Structure 1
Amino acid sequence: MVNQELGIRMNYVLPALLASYPLHGDDVTVKGPASHLTKCVVPICFGLGLQTQRPNIVFIITDDQDLHLGSLDYQPVVKKELAEKGTTFSQHYVTVAKCCPSRASLLRGQAGHNTNITEVGPPGGNYDKWLISGENEDYLPHWLTAAGYNTGYIGKIMNGYNTANYNKGPGGWTHIQTAVDGYTYEYNNVVMSLNGQTPISYPGYHQSDVIRAMAVDRIENLAGQANPFFLGIAPTTPHVELGPGKWPVPPVRYQNEFPNLKAPRSVNWNPSDTYQKQKVSWIKNQALLNDSTIAKLDGLYRARAQSLLGVDDIVEDVIAKLQEKGILNNTYVIYTSDNGWHIGNHRVSAGKSLHYLEDSNVPFIVRGPGVPVNKTSNLPGAHLDLAPTFLDIAGLTSDNAAYPPFLDGRSLLDNWQNPEVEPTQCPVNGGGHEVINVEYWGKGEEETPWGVIAHPNNSYKTLRIVRPDGGTYLYSKWCTGEAELYDTASDPGELTNLAINPNATTSRLISRLNGLLLAAKSCAVDTCRNPWQLLQPEPDRRAVDAQTNLTITCLEQALEPKFDDFFASIPQVAFHQCMPYQYRPNEMPYWPENVGLGEAFRNPTDNYQSSSPSGAKVVSNGTFGTAAQRNVTLSEILKTAKKLTPAQLG
């Protein structure tokens, strides 16, 4: 089909095929069976099974960016360069709706109950717990580096990486410039550590401009190397600055944008008592937001939109540099956030840490080889699926001895390249992919305009049934013993709690969802990818292997009346008390009882100690990110950069 000996270019040999393909990528050098060089468009090479230069991966992850408040509407570059030239996935979820545990889950490809990194500080977890657990020595960059990739990262990686533990840098990266606590959330006081070395202050510049300049400089360096690369870019935007009533701070050039912008008054914005009393735990006691609070929340919304324009600048320059180096069309560019965000939804003034759609369903856009352009897909995915996806892109598959044995996620690469494929009725995408598990341990954070309120009793186990063809639900069980059930197809605002006084039909549904939630909170590896494996009426067929011919493969089958007795026999999901961290005896029962919770793949961390920075703070005066600094280069920024002194390190 392709004349390898003559090295004929495929875009001349197969014009009809190329004309029908959604991406006309740059030519890249490939090797055919006869080991003679030829040329090929990247997606077509993949389709013909020819070996190509493996794609690069640029992974852009913001901090606390919403999907359902419409933040993407105020990012014209993300819309133009990513959404219109790639595919938006509307049903992508985090596994824990909070920064550090979400990032740990993403980097390890595991559910939160298997990483045991469950908070942003002790005792649940942070960077120190990540180190002590040994997970720092066995996660995504190690695997990609072993697969032949250059691995880089710029920005925030995990809460708790600070001036006291900076020299114990994140492992596995060939190049990493990491934001350092307590400067991570100070937009005009940038301090970062290069490869675990003494942190450096970059005075006079806004964080988004520093990260943009570093990212562009790094791509310039990586593009000249033989190996493909992975580059993570992680601005803090639009996270609030720390302190009572503080907001995200945009670059000066954007501080007057969107002057009349207000937070969207969606269906669950500041709801009436009729709906609020159906909530659980501390949420049901939230008072109506008053006019003063609402005015402040509108200001917060504007500040978030303004600050995200700095991220737009990062995206614009990264895309331009990839294009300049001739590698854009052989690079996957992924855009997402570590968790979502709410403002005024369910009467909670602002924040994250809840299981509702605003906090758990995040922006997710992919542009790259074989990804159709200007499409929106409702195929489901989660952050724990990203590590397997990146390994798939790198050519490291589960049948390789070097493949990590503990990954709970699945590769989404086929979804990215075939986003309009509708799942079959039952099973969905081969079984189990309808199930999204979101869990949480600790306190709920409400970031009011006057300071953070930490609400107790916020531990919960949740699952979503995500179906493009309807039949979608949110079911949760809280440490207080309360339950929630929402029919999210007919009730997208998640307002009417069907778990209160359920009728016979709803009770049958709850019995199935309880069993599925019990399996999901106990899962590992294959059973996380398809928890239905654990819910077979015949005990000898449970979790035999992923390909077993199962009796039950989706919710429709499970709801058949003949399975009533089986699901009635399954124990109820429960907490013995509300605790701020994961403790196995507190969360019994499990299904099966002898679950591993990832312990075979990490070190014990009982009573771990967290580092506490004590140095004198670097003082920053002024606000930066002027129009004149829009295109500032790293070489210019480095002219005034200064290492922290011993007194500043503490």
Structure 2
Amino acid sequence: MSSRPRRTLIILLVAALLTAACRPEREIATSPPAAVRPNIVFVLVDDLSKNLVRYMPNVLALQRDGTTFTNYTVTDSLCCPSRASMLTGRYPHNTGIVKNHGSDGGFRLFHRRGQERSTFATDLQAAGYRTAFLGKYLNEYEPRKTVVAGKPYVPPGWDQWFAGGNDYANVNYTLNENGRLRWYGTRPQDYLTDVLSAKARKFITSTAAEGKPFLVEVSTYAPHRPYRPAPRDAASFPGLTAPRTAAFGRVPVNAPKWLARHSPLTSAQLRHIDYNFRRRVQSVQAVDRMIGDLRATLTKAGIAGRTLVVFSSDNGYHMGEYRLAPGKQTAFDLDVNVPLVAAGAGVKVGQVISAVVENVDLRPTFADLAGTTVPAHVDGRSIRPLLAGGIPALWRRAALIEHSDPATDPADPDYTRFTENIPPAYEALRTSSFTYVEYVDGGREYYDRRSDPHQMLNLVAKLAPGRLSELSAALHGLATCEGASTCWPAARAVS
């Protein structure tokens, strides 16, 4: 070989090495070999609305490092029905879990119906993953009272289990720790979010050392009412008030009758809302630190590049919008359109996706990543192609939202004696551009969210009869579907 070709070859090799060395580390970390099945860290919080994310720097970093879904919708803006949909990949009308408590919802019904035998935990455990659950499970689950064969109950699918009960205060609680009960008190180190964080980090470290793929779900009680922050955060954000959006203290034009009669918020209500919004911001600080600590643990263990981190909430929350006292269960975006952020293995960096995704998609996504399949009765579909940066040509056009009657059990943590603040039963369609609602009492709503993002103008009376018939038929099709073979076509039938 002459000296000139040799020099050229050397220059090309050096250039290639420099290019590889200068490539951003996070790009390398998010592109593992196709054969590698990623670990999954799923952080699920309780009642977190999108307006809290701006106060969570580690979640904002997760967004920059990964993918944010702007049209992620929950099947029901209520804890237990939404969580049942996540675990099973099925809509509430198929799980039968439409309440937090009683004969038509809650853990006891979920357990009696045998639905714990088919969840994303059982999928991944069968696929060889080591699995761990920490925190809030399903409403009515209580470590001291939920006993099977004389032992505190651990559901199938979970190798490690650290679950609480009605522990929204984050202090003075008991955890079922792998079948043994352990009580925690009121010391600063007993704050529940911090305890869950420490246990999750220990699980990650030990499982990484064994070289096994894993799934860990950390399910916090924050920022659910009573919005109790960690002691170190109790004085943070002094003077912070709830955001005064276009919907704050107002009802929509042509509002449904359950909402139209609401009086303006009083000064006492406003003070209460501002105080509790600040408490919610304070309470998510421990959650945010936990996310940063979990990611740091993954990096220290050398597995960040082959781990997917997912952050979301079971439902959203309103505070003064539409003249409503703090709560949820409506079809407004504040309650049903919640954060879904993913970063890490196989996820495109800095991506924002407007495609319609729903919480029934989590189970098939986790199974897809683990190299396994889900049963035919699962209603959702894997979003793995979206995480990687692709948008399938034939994707879902609408998400289904279902809501049963108001909670009437005072033991329900979401019970309210002011039932006028909770809508009657309804079914709704939510697309990337509009929301259509049908109430059990005959009322209807239609909001064009592109021109009216705060949903302040109900346009249903201006829709042509043919268009109303189309929407009603599409909603009925999705609200009665069962399994991917019928639910997917129904989700695409909306125009």
Would the TM-score normalized by the shorter structure come out above 0.5?
A: yes
Task: Tell which has more relative contact order, 1 or 2 (C-alpha 8 A, sep 6+).
Answer: 2
Partner of 2:27: 24
CA 1:118–1:19 in structure 2 vs 1: closer, same or farther (change >3 Å)? farther
Asked whether the 8 Å contact 2:32–2:306 carries over to 1, the reply is no
Map 1:143-162 → 2, pairs under 5 A: 143-162=123-142
Across the aligned residues of Structure 1 and Structure 2, the Cα RMSD in angstroms comes to: 2.6
Q: Could you say which structure has the larger radius of gyration?
A: 1
The letter for the 2-side match of 1:332 is: L
How far 1:508 moved relative to its partner? 2.5
Equivalent positions of 1:194-593 (< 5 A) are: 194-204=177-187, 205-241=190-226, 248-271=227-250, 275=252, 278-397=254-373, 403-418=374-389, 421=391, 429-431=393-395, 433-443=396-406, 452-455=417-420, 458-466=424-432, 472-500=433-461, 502=462, 506-525=464-483, 526-531=485-490, 555=495
Matched, 1:65 2:48: yes
Residues 251 and 385 of structure 1, relative CA distance in 2, 3 Å threshold: same
Q: Which residue of structure 1 lines up, in the alignment, with residue 154 of structure 2?
A: 169
Deviations 1:268-318 (A, max 9, x none): 11115xx36x22242222211111111110111000000100111211211
Separation in 2, partners of 1:95, 1:532: 13
Question: How do 1:44-63 and structure 2 match up within 5 A?
Answer: 45-46=33-34, 51-52=35-36, 54-63=37-46
Distance in 2 (alpha carbons) for counterparts of 1:15 and 1:452: 66
SS state of the match for residue 231, structure 1?
Answer: strand
Q: Which residue of 1 aligns with 2:6?
A: none
Q: TM-score, normalised by structure 1?
A: 0.68
Structure 2 Cα separation of the partners of residues 149 and 44 of structure 1: 18
Distance 1:44 1:230, change over 3 A: closer
Cα offsets for 1:549-578 (capped at 9, x unmatched)? xxxx551xxxxxxxxxxxxxxxxxxxxxxx
Distance 1:411 1:85 in 2: 21
Aligned pairs (5 A) from 1:29-40: none
2:99–2:407 Cα contact (<8 Å) kept: no
- Map of 1:563 onto structure 2: none
> 4+ residue runs of structure 1 moved beyond 4 angstroms?
11-23, 444-448
Stretches of structure 2 that go unaligned for 5 or more consecutive residues are 1-13
Q: Determine if contact 1:57/1:333 at 8 Å carries over to the other structure.
A: yes
> 1:318, 1:45 → 2: CA distance?
23
Residue 87 of structure 1: aligned partner: 67
CA contact (8 A) 1:254 1:306 kept: yes
How big is the shift at 1:352? 0.7
Q: Is the 8 A contact 1:148 1:228 kept in 2?
A: yes
User: For the residues of structure 2 that align with 1:202 and 1:226, how far apart are their CA atoms?
Assistant: 35
- Partners of 1:147 and 1:281 lie apart in 2 by 50
Pick which of 191-200 and 321-330 moved more: 191-200
The one-letter code sitting in structure 1 at the alignment partner of 2:129 is Y
SS of residue matched to 1:224: helix
Instruction: Report the counterpart of residue 164 of structure 2 in structure 1.
Output: 179
- Show the counterpart of 2:3: none
Shift of 1:91: 0.9
Unaligned runs of 5+ residues in structure 1 are 1-10, 27-41, 242-247, 398-402, 424-428, 467-471, 534-552, 556-650
**Aligned amino acid, residue 450 of structure 2:** A
| 8 Å CA contact retained: 1:353, 1:444 | no
In 2, the alpha carbon distance for the partners of 1:135 and 1:302 equals: 38
State the distance in 1 between where 2:182 and 2:74 align.
Answer: 30
Match of 2:216, SS state, is strand
1:451, 1:386 → 2: CA distance? Answer: 30
Q: Deviations over 1:117-149 (max 9, x none)?
A: 111101221011111011012211111100110
2:55 to 49, 56, 74: 74
CA distance in 2, matches of 1:252, 1:457: 36
Q: Match for 1:290: what amino acid?
A: T
Confirm or deny: 8 A CA contact 1:190 1:206 kept in the other structure.
no
Q: For residues 423 and 54 of structure 2, what CA distance do their matches in structure 1 show?
A: 34
Give the partner amino acid of 2:48: Q
**CA pair 477-175 structure 1, distance change in 2 beyond 3 A:** same
Q: Work out whether residues 189 and 203 of structure 1, in 8 Å CA contact, stay in contact via their aligned partners in 2.
A: yes
State the shift of 1:345 in Å: 1.1
Question: Per-residue displacement from partner, 1:75-123 (whole Å, max 9, x unpaired)?
Answer: 112212x112111111111001100000000000001100001111012
Partner of 1:641: none
Partners of 1:63 and 1:235 within 8 A in 2: yes
Q: Is the 8 A contact 2:471 2:494 kept in 1?
A: no
What is residue 10 of structure 2 aligned with on the other side?
A: none
**1:180-238 deviation per Cα after TM superposition (whole angstroms, max 9, x unaligned):** 23xx1122223211123335335522111111111111112211123200000111000
CA-to-aligned-CA distance 1:582-635 (integer Å, 9 cap, x gap)? xxxxxxxxxxxxxxxxxxxxxxxxxxxxxxxxxxxxxxxxxxxxxxxxxxxxxx
Report if the CA contact (8 A) 1:281-1:480 is conserved.
Answer: no
How far apart are 1:44 and its partner, in Å?
5.6
AA aligned opposite 2:230: P
Q: Which residue of 1 aligns with 2:88?
A: 108
Normalised TM-score (structure 2): 0.89
Work out the CA distance in 2 between the residues paired with 1:15 and 1:523. Answer: 54
For the residues of structure 2 that align with 1:411 and 1:404, how far apart are their CA atoms? 13
Partner of 2:31: 43
Counterpart of 1:172 in structure 2: which amino acid? G
CA contact (8 A) 2:71 2:337 kept: yes
Q: 1:485 to 1:137 in 2, by over 3 A?
A: same
Between the aligned residues of both structures, percent identity stands at 29
Structure 1 counterpart of 2:337, one-letter code: N
What is the rounded CA distance, in whole Å, between the counterparts of 1:481 and 1:193 in structure 2?
Answer: 45
Distance 1:379 1:16, change over 3 A: farther
